[in-house]
A and B are shown apart, each in its own frame.
Chain A
Amino acid sequence: MPAFVLSRILQALPVMLAVAFIAFTLFTFVGDPIATMLGQEFSVAQRDALVAALGLDQPVPVQFLRFIGNALRGEFGLSYRLSRPVSALIAERAPATLELAFCASVVALVVGLPAGVYTGLYPRSIVSRAFLTFSLVGVSLPTFLIGSLLILVFSVWLGWLPSFGRGDTVQLGWWSTGFLTASGLKALILPSITLGLFQLTLILRLVRSEMLEVMRSDYVKFARARGLRDSAIHFGHALRNTLVPVITIVGLQLGSIIAFSIVTETVFQWPGMGLLFIQSVSSADIPVMAAYLLLISAVFVTINLVVDLLYYAVDPRLRAGGGH
């Protein structure tokens, strides 16, 4: 077992390095940090000083190592646009995105999983067909459109829910949370639904197709031939076998929720990392882009690793390593 874990970690490292290299290339070669930071007019002396300070006169491999060293310490330089340390910016925005991602995941799982199981077990019922149509529409609707339409209905026409911002937040150490205020919770509703909808439909369709596949399998047929109760078959045999591949894909999807938050945050002007990233793309703010890239990659790679380990823990065929 430790060998398995070790090999997975070792496989993740080159990926991270490759991403770091891309981020570094961006950081160093694209755009002109000097001009951006110093403005239009600057003296040679100012330029030399800045070059030395940023280490831009060093050979490239050395710069790369410096970059990695800095990155590991959370030091990403200054934002071109805002002239503030990138790490501080990200730390400020992270809680907003993470809370949103969490709520969206909850929405997606709490609705998507049971709905998927139901439509898998009873594919011909009217409720199932309704769910399926709904899921098809959900996949075809781009996230931003869902957001706009929700705003139109619930903010403009009905006036029930806010359409931008996080509401009032409470500061707990360096984490600002919106869970503890009424306005904070209300502000979370529309964005969470928007962000979670795509994942919801994905989970629903995935669980459904896995369930259908499993219910057709030989061991389910044998279980029925042995006269086991429906509940035992559905939840014991079918569900457990369905969940194994579903866990992997859901886990991987959780990573993309964080990425898709870019769109949702833009629609709702949610002050999170996604909005920060978009603003940095529009204004060619390389340090922020590079830092976001590194961070997101780290998150994805970690999620992949965790999912791999989970798979290993759940499927005995991988564990025992034996068999004929």
Chain B
Amino acid sequence: MGAIARAWSRSWDSDIAYAFRHSPTAVISAMVALVCIVGAVAAPVLAPYNPFDLASLDLMDAFNPPAFMEEGSMAHPIGTDDQGRDVLSAIMYGARMSLFVGVSATAFALLLGVLLGLLAGYAGGTVDAVLMRIADVQLTFPNILIALLVDGVARAALPRDLHDQIAVYVVIFAIGISDWPRFARTVRGSAMVERNKEYVLAARVIGIGPARIMLTHVLPNVLGPLLVLATLNLGLAIISEATLSFLGVGLPQTQPSLGTLIRIGNDFLFSGEWWITVFPGVALIAMVLSVNLLGDWLRDALNPRLR
């Protein structure tokens, strides 16, 4: 375990911390991301209202505009939607769902990808060829399509109620399945390089199991690129989930994410209640943009050639 910790600290040398402190975009996007995350995670505590507690809704409150327009009030700083739900609270809860799905899907893709990548890289031969062929084929298709397909199949195969209950997990699975190849390829590349090194051969001779070799030697070397990939993937996963929800095949209405909110608000664009769509949209952009900026910065910071 000490080897892992040492390797970890090696890949976070002070140059990175220095570069971080001196890059305004990195600091700002980290702060924005932090605000989004805190607001999302602590929604039940921080949100002024619980927009999904049906008892607290009052249709008389419906369609209140934001506070900076006339007829708006600070009680609902960015307005209410067609059912009287406070948009700010809805955004916080929605962001929570978006983040949850995004992080879970990325984690799933990461785990699956790392596992399969290590397997392919270390075992080599047919195992490697088969796995990589699957990955290649999957990579030629945009992941929205794959996610849609998985979701569609689940929808067709499961009875309606069951599907609604586990919709969140179906979505996480769908997005995760569509993203694993990228992680797998990165890890596989690293694994293949390490596999041929002499200390690995030596370890095998002594009888150390391949799992331990992978964990202590391959993983630390590939942590950097994996981190960059995961950060960038997080942005994409959040967008994928939002897209699925917007299309009506993601999360159900009872657990809306930012994408669902945008879809609901879309119906009211023409009647003038633009805030129901725009503010969730802004929240989504802020979250994804800050994550992407962080990922971009991280990639440049970890790229030795650009330093």
A residues in contact (CB < 8 Å) with B: 15, 18, 26, 30-31, 136-137, 139-145, 148-149, 151-152, 155-156, 163, 252, 255-256, 259-260, 262-263, 266-267, 277-278, 280-282, 284, 286, 289, 293, 296-297, 300-301, 304
C-alpha spacing A281/B174, complex, angstroms: 14
Which residue of A is nearest B136, CB measured?
Answer: A15
C-alpha spacing A141/B286, complex, angstroms: 10
Segment touching A, from B109-117, B164-172, B208-216, B245-253 = B245-253
- With a cutoff of 8 Å between Cβ atoms, the chain B residues found around residue A267 in the complex are 266
C-alpha spacing A151/B265, complex, angstroms: 13
- With a cutoff of 8 Å between Cβ atoms, the chain B residues found around residue A280 in the complex are 152
- B82: Cβ under 8 A from any A Cβ: no
Given that A18-B137, A300-B141, A304-B140 are contacting pairs, would A148 and B281 also be in contact in the complex, using a CB cutoff of 8 Å? yes
Known: A144-B262, A301-B140; 5 extra A-B contacts, CB below 8 A, are A31-B156, A145-B242, A156-B272, A260-B144, A296-B141
- With a cutoff of 8 Å between Cβ atoms, the chain A residues found around residue B272 in the complex are 156
Minimum CB–CB distance from B223 to chain A (whole Å) comes to: 23
Minimum CB–CB distance from B2 to chain A (whole Å) comes to: 38
- With a cutoff of 8 Å between Cβ atoms, the chain A residues found around residue B269 in the complex are 148, 151-152, 156
**In the complex, how many residue pairs between chain A and chain B have their CB atoms under 8 Å apart?**
111
- B149: Cβ under 8 A from any A Cβ: yes
- B148: Cβ under 8 A from any A Cβ: yes
User: Which DSSP category, helix, strand, loop or mixed, fits chain A's interface?
Assistant: helix
- B89: Cβ under 8 A from any A Cβ: no
Residue-wise, chain B 129-169 has the 8 Å CB interface mask toward A (1 for contact) of 00000000100111011001101110111000000000000
- B284: Cβ under 8 A from any A Cβ: yes
- With a cutoff of 8 Å between Cβ atoms, the chain A residues found around residue B235 in the complex are 139-140
Q: Are A30 and B153 in contact (CB under 8 A)?
A: yes
B residues in contact (CB < 8 Å) with A: 137, 140-142, 144-145, 148-149, 151-153, 155-157, 235, 239, 242-243, 246-249, 259, 262, 266, 269-270, 272, 274, 277-278, 281, 284-285, 288-289, 292-293, 296
30 A-B pairs within 8 Å (CB atoms) are namely: A15-B137, A30-B153, A30-B157, A31-B156, A137-B289, A139-B292, A140-B239, A140-B292, A141-B288, A142-B242, A142-B246, A142-B284, A145-B284, A148-B266, A148-B269, A149-B278, A152-B269, A156-B274, A260-B142, A263-B243, A266-B246, A278-B248, A281-B152, A281-B155, A281-B249, A282-B155, A284-B155, A286-B156, A289-B149, A300-B141
Q: Are B277 and A262 in contact (CB under 8 A)?
A: no
Minimum CB–CB distance from A18 to chain B (whole Å) comes to: 7
Q: Are A296 and B289 in contact (CB under 8 A)?
A: no
Q: Closest 10 CB pairs between A and B?
A: A284-B156, A281-B152, A256-B142, A140-B289, A140-B288, A142-B239, A259-B142, A31-B156, A144-B246, A259-B145
C-alpha spacing A144/B246, complex, angstroms: 8
Q: Are B152 and A148 in contact (CB under 8 A)?
A: no
Which residue of A is nearest B286, CB measured?
Answer: A140
Which residue from A136, A156, A289 sits with its C-beta under 8 Å from B296? A136
- With a cutoff of 8 Å between Cβ atoms, the chain A residues found around residue B284 in the complex are 142, 145
- With a cutoff of 8 Å between Cβ atoms, the chain B residues found around residue A155 in the complex are 270
